[in-house]
Amino acid sequence: MSISCAFLLAATLGFGREAPPPLVTWQDLCDRSGVWLGQTVRVQVQFSGRVETWNPYITRFGTRQFSAVQAWTDEQFPWIQAERDAPVVRVFTRRGGAGDWALESAKPGVRFEMTLIVRETFLDLPWAEVVGILPLAERISEGTAIHAGKACELMRTSAFTLAESELQQAITDDLPAVARTELERLLALCRDAIALERRTNGTPSARR
């Protein structure tokens, strides 16, 4: 999406010139949902997909008035299959509204900053309505997830040299900060293990 389109989208969804709402993590919303009840906040998420059916229980988020969206938090890493299969964020957009339109053609893996109003808390979870959305340049691509997943498998079998190569391919310029930090941590572990193997085998460490 072009910068001009992003600004247009922000304006369409009601972003003003006042100070932006606080940027929080989804985990913080869950841990302190009562504190955030009725508040406007921003969260950064990676889109997974729309939810076709859900149980609104006693909340206002019925399926006729709202669409549901599922997303991953930045703290979830899609190269771990269990986390890839269980995106924890669920938020709601009004059917036919600007937020619903903005996400209409969104593909899995696209990252957004969403402005939310925590309308209710139920089952110890925040039930939040999307009132603003901006596309973000950073993302965890499918290629990154594949290479990082292979690296983790290789590390479990102590194939650290091969894992290092996979991680080097996984670390791209457009990674979100949390994912970059985790992949760089894994890369450092590989390099430490490779250096230890070389010292143990009497092989001089390669210069980097």
Parallel, antiparallel, or unpaired: how do β-strands 66-73 and 125-135 relate? unpaired
* Of 89, 141, 149, nearest in space to 110 by CA: 141
Confidence of residue 61 (pLDDT cuts 50, 70, 90): very high
Write the DSSP assignment of 57-115 as a string of letters.
TTSS--TTTEEEEEEEETT--TTSHHHHT---EEEEEETTSHHHHHTTT--TT-EEEEE
Q: What CA–CA distance (Å, rounded) separates 180 from 140? A: 9
CATH number belonging to domain 3-135: 2.40.50.140
pLDDT at residue 3 tops 70:
no
pLDDT at residue 187 tops 80:
yes
Average pLDDT of the chain?
90
Structure tokens at 95: 């059917």
* Of 142, 192, 196, nearest in space to 172 by CA: 142
In this prediction, residue 17 carries a pLDDT of 64
Q: What CA–CA distance (Å, rounded) separates 137 from 59? A: 33
Domain ranges of the chain: 3-135, 142-201
13/191: higher pLDDT: 191
Confidence of residue 7 (pLDDT cuts 50, 70, 90): very low
Q: What CA–CA distance (Å, rounded) separates 35 from 116? A: 14
In this prediction, residue 18 carries a pLDDT of 77
Structure tokens at 204: 């001089």
Q: What is the pLDDT of residues 123-180, one digit of tens each?
A: 989 999 999 999 999 999 999 999 999 999 999 999 999 999 999 999 999 999 999 9
Is 131:13 a contact under the CB 8 Å cutoff? Answer: yes
pLDDT at residue 1 tops 90:
no
Structure tokens at 117: 């109003």
